[in-house]
Amino acid sequence: MNATSNHNNSNSSDAKTHVLVAYILIVVGMFTAIPMLLGAVWAMVKRRDALGTIYHSHYSNAIRVFWYTVVWTIVGAILIFALVGYPIIALVWLWALYRLIKGLVKISADEAYPL
């Protein structure tokens, strides 16, 4: 094995570790909020390091889950008074949980996240 392939394997391993951290923080943050922000920032900062690896799509997924969850939770909170806010918040929470679990399953199988 040459130095270039060792460097690529190291980048791929680091990218996997960092996206796992982001996923876990976002999942925990679904229950406590602050870790979700930390996970999203972590994914945004580390995403460039994953260019050229199968893990880049996982960073995109984590960031997308964060922003959609934030936006639709705000919409749901505004619409609580119209009695449709709670279902919106529940659906966005389930959607986010699905995307995060699917990402964790794909990453454990060393597969890219299908975007």
4 pLDDT higher than 60: no
Please tell me the distance from the alpha carbon of residue 88 to that of residue 77, in angstroms, as a whole number: 9
Pull the structure tokens for residue 33: 């909020």
Do residues 65 and 96 touch, judged by C-beta distance below 8 A?
yes
What pTM was computed for the model? 0.85
- Convert the pLDDT of each residue in 65-85 to its tens digit: 999 999 999 999 999 999 999
2 pLDDT higher than 50: no
61 Cβ contact list (under 8 Å, min separation 6): 99, 103, 113, 115
The type of residue at 32 is T
Please tell me the distance from the alpha carbon of residue 40 to that of residue 35, in angstroms, as a whole number: 9
95 pLDDT higher than 90: yes
CB atoms within 10 A of CB 25: 21
pLDDT for 1: 43
What count of Cα atoms within 13 Å lies in the side-chain half-sphere of residue 25? Answer: 20
3 pLDDT higher than 50: no
- Convert the pLDDT of each residue in 13-29 to its tens digit: 889 999 999 999 999 99
